[in-house]
Amino acid sequence: MARVSWSGMMLALETSCDDTCAAVMTSEGHLLSSVIHSQDVIHKKYGGVVPEVASRAHAERATVVVREALEEADAGIADLGAVAVTVGPGLIGALLIGVNTGKAIAWARRLPLIPVNHLHGHLGSMWLTDPDAPFPFLALVVSGGHTMLVRVDSHRDFTLLGQTLDDAAGEAMDKAARLLGLGYPGGKELDQLAEHGDPTAYSFPIALRAADNLNLSFSGVKTAMYYLLRDMSPEERIEHAADVAASYRAAVVEALVSKLLRAAVSERVAGIAIGGGVAANSLLRQRVQTEGRAKGFHVVVPSFELCTDNAAMIASAALYEDALPYPTYLDLEATASLTLGQRVSAGA
């Protein structure tokens, strides 16, 4: 496969789900701008992401977001040396908007195009946060669509050690938030409510806790939430909402932290890191920091903006992905079901 080197500034695009994002980074890895247009307000009224609506919103915003990212970086199209774009996994219509916008800009300036796996992007947020973090490290990627434990041996070598067998942790947070009437997506609101509650008030199941593997499962805890609330009166639901949220959050976070630390110890890694939208959870951040450090691990916890979907993480990952030379990428395809470690190139 043909690869090229490049220099100057890179424009990165991310449109895999419901955030339209663009960022500008130098080839040395300095982040110059990162712009995120969230579509939460649009999808709120449907209670979830509507793929066709998301694609249209990306199409309307893509050029605006690119312009804003360039302006914020005090750069123009002429300063670009490469364009990076998320090619998957994600919603196919949403991905296509980013991929075609990226191709068009790269082609117009005869620049190389760097296809990036969104999951590698979440890992990229970790080395963007702490470029000197030692390898190997154990990464927990927790978002609305993914929950994975990954051994990271270099900027390009990743091994999937365990993952959820059913719902993603973010999905479990969002569904519980919905049952509690906290709105959409709800993970953040559940987290805020949980801060005011007693985490020991209710007992929620922690699936696969004793299992001799690194997989996770969140369908049981979600069902337990449904039955607990079903058996309460409307008044009780209001009165105990904070305690219910705190107990539920504690169970989900315990499942994540215990498997992350168990994996890190058995893999004898130097450090641990978290990424993805659920890594914005305050209890998860706090427990990973204190318990990780107590066990002697180097701990990387990215800022909130780098946890939820953004293009800065795509740029950070793109520094280590293959740049395809002009104009070989014109037949590059967006891929909805890309897995960790998978890389797509033109003509794939």
Residues that bind ligand KG4 (CB under 6 A): 17, 143-145, 170, 173-174, 185-188, 191, 276-278, 280-281, 308-309
Half-sphere exposure at residue 230, Cβ-oriented, CA atoms within 13 angstroms: 6
Residue closest to Zn ion, measured at CB: 143
Q: For the chain, give the number of residues.
A: 348
> Cβ closer to Zn ion: 143 or 316?
143
Site of tokens 């519980």: 176
Least Å from the CB of residue 10 to Zn ion:
20
CB nearer ligand KG4, residue 98 or residue 112? 98
Q: Tell me whether residue 15 or residue 143 sits nearer to Zn ion (CB atom).
A: 143
273 in Cβ contact with 136 (< 8 Å) = no
Contact 182, 54 (CB under 8 A): no
Residue 76 to residue 9: CA distance in whole angstroms = 10
Shortest separation between residue 291's beta carbon and ligand KG4, angstroms: 18
How many angstroms separate the CA atoms of 113 and 107, rounded? 8
Contact of residue 187 among Zn ion, ligand KG4, none (CB under 5-8 Å per partner type) = ligand KG4
The distance of closest approach from Cβ of residue 49 to Zn ion in the complex, given in angstroms and rounded to an integer, is 12
What 3 state SS string does 247-264 have?
A: HHHHHHHHHHHHHHHHHH
For residue 187, CA distances in Å to 161, 192, 305 come to 25, 9, 15
Pick 44 or 295: Cβ nearer ligand KG4: 44
174 binds, among ligand KG4, Zn ion, none (CB under 5 to 8 A by kind): ligand KG4
Q: Which does 188 bind (CB under 5 to 8 A by kind): Zn ion, ligand KG4, none?
A: ligand KG4
Shortest CB 91 distance to Zn ion, Å: 12
